[in-house]
Amino acid sequence: KQEVTQIPAALSVPEGENLVLNCSFTDSAIYNLQWFRQDPGKGLTSLLLIQSSQREQTSGRLNASLDKSSGRSTLYIAASQPGDSATYLCAPGSRGSASKIIFGSGTRLSIRP
Amino acid sequence: SAVISQKPSRDICQRGTSLTIQCQVDSQVTMMFWYRQQPGQSLTLIATANQGSEATYESGFVIDKFPISRPNLTFSTLTVSNMSPEDSSIYLCSVTGRNNEQFFGPGTRLTVL
């Protein structure tokens, strides 16, 4: 059974810093891995999708890497802004037609102006 | 990306009653899922909504408590039956798009008194 751990659970940094969010998963037989953002009381916004054959994906100030063999992914946020404050969720997707994804507990990020 | 709407966006219900949540997608999709997010927690998959057949439930969730309908490829409902305060959560539907990327609706915030 896939288990997903995200470290740190919470992070508060001043605006402008570069930061790294970590995700580890126990079953490396994944199809892909997604990073999501969730604002308080809201739904999820997909940030980046990495296929199992890929090593990283970039979108603007965000870069996500994937090391499938070691069961790790990182989300790098460059030049952080107060608008980046949210909970970030890592979700590896299982193989097979079900396309089920399992969520980590998330990292609650606060960027101080 | 798919555009997903949910109704209602929020509701306050009495113990012992039932609530049906609707999920509408702007395009035909094969895979639809229902998730629960309890207060302060991450997302847990309830079931996969299958078009033309019964939903597939995850461990800990049963059809009598969470009946699901999927009459076509753009619509699904989740009913939370015989509610108790422990059912107070955000309920989210999701769909799988191209490359198995998952997209989420805005969620339904349910409070049971």
Alpha carbon of residue B7 to chain centroid: 10
A59 CA to chain B: closest CA distance, Å? 15
The pLDDT score that the predictor gives to residue A29 is 87
Who among B45, B101, B109 is closest to A41 (CB)?
B109
pLDDT digits (tens, 9 = 90+) for B58-72: 999 999 999 999 999
pLDDT digits (tens, 9 = 90+) for A16-41: 999 999 999 998 888 899 999 999 88
The pLDDT score that the predictor gives to residue B103 is 93
The pLDDT score that the predictor gives to residue A96 is 63
Lowest-confidence pick of A78-82, B53-57, B62-66: B53-57
Query: What does each C-alpha distance from A92 to A3, A102, B65, B93 come to in angstroms?
Result: 9, 6, 28, 18
Q: CB neighbours (10 Å) of residue B103?
A: 21
Tokens 């997909």 locate to A46
Tokens 């992070």 locate to A11
Residue B86 has what DSSP assignment? G
The pLDDT score that the predictor gives to residue A10 is 95
A-proximal residues of B, 75-104, CB under 8 Å: 90, 92, 94, 96, 99-104
Is pLDDT of A89 > 70? yes
pLDDT digits (tens, 9 = 90+) for A37-70: 999 888 899 999 999 999 999 999 999 999 999 9
The pLDDT score that the predictor gives to residue A2 is 87
B25 CA to chain A: closest CA distance, Å? 15
The pLDDT score that the predictor gives to residue A88 is 97
